[in-house]
Amino acid sequence: MKTANANFDRSYGTKTTVVAPSALIKSAHLIERIGLAAIGGSSGLYVAAGLLRRQNELPWSVWIVLLMMLYGAFSFYVGIDLPGRSARRSASIQRQGWNLDTAIEILSAVGIFLAAIATFVSVGIIILDETVSDGLLALTGSSWMIGASFQIAAGIIARNYGTAEDVGK
């Protein structure tokens, strides 16, 4: 971490170090994003485990679980923590109606909702040890995949749109 000031406290003869707030904020943001990725990976694990309970004989089941965990981690890392435009533009959204910011927020919210509900159902299936229909398993898996994809799309659009907007300023 970078330091903003390194002073000697003359009364005690010790060196005091002040950490720059921007370095702390960046570190906290990175830790937050890693935590979100861990939640996304856990979500993928639960959904994969719920899906594979029914079909134990699926080939490459370990790879399916690993890919769902990685996809979930990536989707939560990219999609949930969107660049902070919504707070400063909430008033302009109300005045202008629909714009790209509104679409990004809705895409992210729907993605989070679908992924969370699919994870909730999967954990319920695992914990309650229920035998469910193939249709419910397909609905759960596809809901999670669509939700994770929506989060990735929202994150990519928001970052590309934010970058182009910042260049125009």
pTM of the shown model: 0.68
**Tally of domains within the chain:** 1
Model confidence pLDDT, tens digit, residues 109-165: 888 899 989 999 999 888 888 788 888 888 998 999 999 999 899 888 888 876 444
In terms of residue numbers, what domain contains 97?
3-168
Q: What are phi and psi of 16, to 5 degrees?
A: -110, 140
Q: What is the pLDDT of residues 55-97, one digit of tens each?
A: 655 666 788 888 889 998 888 888 766 655 544 445 454 555 6
